[in-house]
Amino acid sequence: MTTGLFWFTNDLRLHDQPALWKMQSVDKLICVFCIDPQWFRPNGLNAKAMGERRLQFLYESLADLQQQLQQFGQQLIIKQQTPHKALTELIEFYNVDIIVRSQHAGVYENRHWHLLQQQFPQRKFITEVSHTLFAAEDLPFAIGDLPDSFTQFRKLVEDLALPRPMSAPQQLPPPPGPIAIDKLSTPIHKPSPFHGGETAALEHISEYFSADLPANYKQVRNELDGWQHSTKFSPWLALGCLSVRHLVSKLRTYEQNKTNNDSTYWIYFELLWREYFQWYAMRHGAKLFRFDGIKNTKSRRCYYPERYQKWCNGNTPYPLVNACMKQLNATGYMSNRGRQIVASCFVYDLNLDWRFGAAYFEQQLIDYDVAANWGNWQYIAGVGADPRGGRHFNIEKQTQQYDPNGEFIRRWQGDIDLVPLDSVDAADWPIMPPSKQ
């Protein structure tokens, strides 16, 4: 009798799940997700990996997955331990023969996987691609030869044929017996237009492509607010509640049956940006989190506690930045344009170490994806894939262009209680008003 273990990570769905199809041949199957206690502890960048909004979306997604697995006579085992500890206990207790997961760009997740492979050399370990459009063997270059810029990457891959998304499995092997499930503390529910889980993701994709929204996407994609002004797929893509291959398949069907224009192309264009950062993270590994990035770029930027707190709380001298940050803190979401503006402000106007901003986004964003988040922050900061060496946006110009009437700023109270940027210097010495110096 063969026992398999499936480790869910950022693939919380049943549709287009090639790794789960690998489990069809086993006699007994364990499905597990690990909630690492380390996620809730402050890290060295003054944030936690998992904020309240992210946690709520994750719990909703896990509950939906659990409900779907129950229809197959399965259960989702949730362990509040590090993946290495939790999976080790399960492998040893149930004498697991095959351990399967989806490919992941995260250094942390891969470290646990490699430790398990070293610890159990006689067991079979399988990794399948489910979080990206392409597999490594589909690319016209080795991962180590990933192009240095997105434009080069796009030109090489945008016309490649995509694998067809897989349907959900029709059946799953049963679990080996009753398995203790850690009881989760329910987070305080906060109203949100986003509801986690595969069910909500498939409902949203159906609604989006049944309307005219894809045909007009390029004209509204830079709006700072509004449910219909962007595709809003990112939270479900980040946790894998939605397959990116399934999404592109729906896009192609829309183009064939309704319209194929610059806007529908632009949706694919931005998914290729996401794709680029996935392979970028896999190529560069731990360099994704280094102060000097992938280029060993030297910088004098540092950590000013007061400036950092003002940025986080939306209390800077810049109303547009404040409005974006208050939107983020209240909803767990921010437009792509808003993210570029506040990241540029963080790095260039506040002169702060970009990693602290990236870590705060990790804590707050419900659509946090390790590759996209840290790759984009490196890009803005000039220590990553940007051939121009960084992106400094003029905040006043951005305000006039994207919020000329101040509606967004008023909605999120970005111009309330504006204060000077500094009351202390970098060494925490008080800065006296000019008349008293």
Provide the residue-wise pLDDT of the chain in tens; the chain has 437 residues: 899 999 999 999 999 999 999 898 999 999 999 999 999 999 999 999 999 999 999 999 999 999 999 999 999 999 999 999 999 999 999 999 999 999 999 999 999 999 999 999 999 999 999 999 999 999 999 999 999 999 999 999 999 999 899 999 999 999 998 776 766 666 667 788 999 999 999 999 999 999 999 999 999 999 999 888 899 999 999 999 999 999 999 999 999 999 999 999 999 999 999 999 999 999 999 999 999 999 887 777 888 999 999 999 999 999 999 999 999 999 999 999 999 999 999 999 999 999 999 999 999 999 999 999 999 999 999 999 988 878 899 999 999 999 999 999 999 999 987 878 888 666 666 564 444 44
Is 233 assigned to a binding site? yes
Is 367 assigned to a binding site? yes
CATH 1.10.579.10 intervals, the chain: 305-412
Is 368 assigned to a binding site? yes
* Lookup result for tokens 């492998």: 91
CATH 3.40.50.620 intervals, the chain: 1-131
β-bridge partners, 101: 7, 127
Is 397 assigned to a binding site? no
Is 232 assigned to a binding site? yes
CATH 1.25.40.80 intervals, the chain: 132-165+198-284
In words, the CATH class of domain 305-412 is mainly alpha
Is 230 assigned to a binding site? yes
- Pick 132-165+198-284's CATH classification: 1.10.1240.10, 3.40.1360.10, 1.20.120.350, 1.25.40.80: 1.25.40.80
Within 8 A by CB and 6+ apart from 378, the residues are 288, 293, 294, 354, 384, 385
Is 243 assigned to a binding site? no
Q: What is the pTM of this model?
A: 0.94
Q: Write the CA distances from 427 to 135, 304, 437, integer angstroms.
A: 49, 9, 18
Q: Enter the CATH code of domain 1-131.
A: 3.40.50.620
Report how far residue 167's alpha carbon sits from residue 423's, in angstroms, rounded to the nearest whole number.
58
CA atoms within 13 A on the CB side of 88: 12
